[in-house]
Amino acid sequence: MTSFPLYTRYPQLAASLPRLPLSQGPSPVAELAQLGGKTVWIKNDGLYGTVYGGNKPRKLEFILPDIRRTGARTIVTFGALGTHHGLATALYGREHDLRTVLLLIDQPVNDAIRRQLCWLHQAGAILHYTATARRTRLLAPLILLRYTDWRRRKLPYLLQPGASTPLATLGYVNAALELAEQVAAKELPEPETIVVALGSGGTAAGLLLGLRLAGLNSRLLAVLVSDVLPLSPATVARLANATAELMRRRGADLSLTKIEPAAITVLTDWLGDGYGHTTPEAERAQALLQESEGLALDLTYTAKTMASLLALLEDGRLGKGPTLYWHTYNALPQPLPQPEPDDYRRLPQAFHRFFETEV
């Protein structure tokens, strides 16, 4: 397999859209053995990365060179209290001498979220609790000014939630081309259906565009796991088309027609009470995959996605061909130690309210 299929297919982009590699190679594919007689494969992006896996390193591979281009030394970005995007940004940013500032909104709090808050702090992120999306939008300009490097006249680099921008979406265009190479190498059959979580949209949009460019006929099912951002087939298709236009502007010869919203199916029945709220189906899927495959799912994204896939299997709503589950949750060893009580106490005072015991 080639080292980076996007550049192999469109060599002009290697110079015009530079990448900072954050993984040693393609993420592996394998067959899931215990899902009821149906051929289901996994592409495990949880193993894609060096210090933190999942879908975030693929996006940051294009974002970090862009930050270098601007000369910024601080990233300002957004997420919920347990943001994996924020943790990945802080960890990889720290490796490249970049400071990460996070504006965090509410989500249901459990032990995993408390632990994630501590890890965000341990990773060097500066945390601001903004509670709601509306308050975040109002405070963001002030935060940008607060962390401006006035001596160098450099604003922070503003990164959208989940890094779902046309530039970052290139990471998943490449991921789809990578999958096509694995199919060509007979590592797995061409999937009839691909099931993936839909959080901020960049992963699904990149796959949508990349599958078209790769010539794969796989149907893309995106499982909605967030009601914080307005996501629909139209918004995902819009981001895919914006990414294609970016590639054209930077020298790629793309002959494909506009991607229409009908090219993606968004499943909305698995959200439950909202972003970060668990569901019984997600909890069952989490337990099943841990027991049968040793695969860890998180209750916010991947467990709801797997719950959807399992229900579709049971109801016979998937086609006769192979199904591919695209795993987007970190499966690398956690790079930070388990938090101790002193780690909780070091959190900014605004976050102490989220702990059941006094910190």
- Kindly state whether residues 142 and 132 are assigned to the same domain: yes
For the ranges 44-48, 310-314, 320-324, the one whose mean pLDDT is highest = 44-48
Specify whether 292 is located in the same domain as 311.
Answer: yes
296 and 205 in a single domain? The answer is yes
With respect to residue 154, please indicate whether it lies within any of the assigned structural domains: yes
Q: State the DSSP code for 345.
A: H
**Residue-number span of the structural domain to which 171 is assigned:** 5-55+164-327
Number of domains in the chain: 2
Q: Are residues 51 and 65 in the same domain?
A: no
Residues 249 and 221 both lie in one domain: yes
Sheet holding 219-224, edge to edge: 29-32, 40-44, 323-327, 193-198, 219-224, 264-267
pLDDT value of residue 357: 56
What CATH number has the domain bearing residue 49?
3.40.50.1100
- Determine, yes or no, domain membership for 336: no
150 in the same domain as 185: no
Residue 7, CA distances (Å) to 49, 226, 243 in order: 19, 32, 15
Q: Does residue 342 fall inside a structural domain? A: no
* Backbone torsion region of residue 347, taken as left when φ is above 0, otherwise alpha when ψ lies between -120 and 50, otherwise beta: beta
- Residue 346 within a domain: no
Q: 220 and 104: one domain?
A: no
Q: Tell me, yes or no, whether 44 lies in a domain.
A: yes
Q: Taking 80 as the threshold, does the pLDDT of residue 14 lie above it?
A: yes
Q: What is the pLDDT of residue 359?
A: 43
Same domain for 34 and 120? no
Q: What is the mean pLDDT of the chain?
A: 95
Q: What percent of the chain has pLDDT over 90?
A: 90
131 plus 234 within the same structural domain = no
The per-residue pLDDT for range 249-304, each reduced to its tens digit, is: 999 999 888 999 999 999 999 999 999 999 999 999 999 999 989 999 999 999 99
C-alpha 115/C-alpha 340 separation (Å) is 9
Co-location of 179 and 321 in the same domain: yes
Q: Are residues 202 and 76 part of one domain?
A: no
**Domain-located, residue 14:** yes
- Cα angle, residue 192 at apex, residues 212 and 28 outer, rounded to 5°: 80
Q: Which of 146, 163, 180 corresponds to the end of one domain?
A: 163
**What is the model's pLDDT at position 36?**
62
**pLDDT higher than 80, residue 2:** no
Instruction: Count the alpha carbons within 13 Å of 61 in the hemisphere toward its beta carbon.
Output: 30
The answer as to whether 221 is a domain residue is: yes
Q: Does any domain span residue 150?
A: yes
Distance separating alpha carbons of residues 222 and 235, to the nearest angstrom: 12
- Domain co-membership, 192 together with 273: yes
Domain end residue (candidates: 138, 163, 188): 163
CB-side neighbour CA atoms (13 Å) of 350: 12
Model confidence pLDDT, tens digit, residues 59-99: 999 999 999 999 999 999 999 999 999 999 999 999 999 99
Q: Which of 163, 180, 199 is the last residue before a domain boundary? A: 163
Which helix (H) or strand (E) segment holds residue 139: the answer is helix 133-146
